[in-house]
Structures are given as structure tokens and as C-alpha cells.
Amino acid sequence: MTGDPHNPDSHSAAQGAIENLFASLGVPDKNAVLAGEVVSLVEQDPLITSVRDLCTVLGLQERTLERFCARFLGVSPRWVIRQRRLQEAGVRIRAGASLAELSAQLGYTDQPHFSRDFRAATGWTPGEFAGMVQGRTGTEPA
């Protein structure tokens, strides 16, 4: 696509090359399918706020899921869930959500726990982030 990245023929050729590459890889094994399912469930179901919730949906024991995620995702199921919750928090804070209500809606037991997780992930407290997105400071979040 280096000649003209906007050329429809270039796009078609690139798409064909990628489809051929994926076809050559064959059918994903059961572990790859389960890894995709774990991530998809966490991303799509806001009711999954704990590892126990995820285990219930998947029908797996907690330790089995922890070992699986460590081996095939490289992170814990708790980390996957926390990242999704914090991404959702950022979206809702930008929309003006109440921080106290938000922490409860995202499954945190209390607001300080939510604040610690948010600050560890972003470097800002939820209140600082809300102030930045509302234009109270000159610093914009990334």
C-alpha cells in the first residue's frame, strides 16, 4: 500500500494477503478460543466485576482460570477485569458521572479502593481526571 494507501485496489490486495495469512494458520485450538472468550466476556458483560463472576459464567474453578490466564494471556483474570472497569470509569468520568456512584456501579466495595486502582493505572485520582476533562486544569489526560 506504499504507492497510494487510499487506492481501493491496494486495500483489496492487503486484505487478501491478510486473509491468506490467517487461513494458513488453521483453526484456533481450544485454548485460543477460550482466551478469546475470557476477554470478550469481560469486555462485553458489565456485570462481571470479579474473578468469581467470570468463573461462574465460564463454569471454571477460580484456580483453573487463574492458571489458564497466566499461561495464555500473560496476566491474571483480576487484571483483565480491573483494566476493563478502569476503561469504563474513564469513559463515564468524561461523561460527568458521580465518582461515588461510579465506584459502586463498577463493583468496587468502596470509593477509596476505586481511587487507588484508578491512580495506579493512570497516575491521577478520579477527581483529578474529572477536573482535567472538565477543563479545570491546563493538563489534558492522554
**Which CATH number belongs to the domain containing residue 95 in this structure?**
1.10.10.60
Query: What whole-number distance in Å separates Cα of residue 47 and Cα of residue 121?
Result: 21
Does 85 lie in the same domain as 48?
no
Last residue of a domain, one of 77, 101, 119: 77
Query: What whole-number distance in Å separates Cα of residue 80 and Cα of residue 97?
Result: 23
pLDDT at 76 (0 to 100): 97
Percent of residues, the chain, with pLDDT higher than 90: 61
Does 87 lie in the same domain as 118?
yes
Give the predicted TM-score (pTM) of the model: 0.73
List, in sequence order, every beta strand (DSSP E) within 6-61.
none
Give the phi and the psi of residue 47 in degrees, each rounded to 5: -80, -15
pLDDT at 109 (0 to 100): 87
Give the range of the structural domain holding residue 37, as residue numbers without chain letter: 26-77
pLDDT at 1 (0 to 100): 55
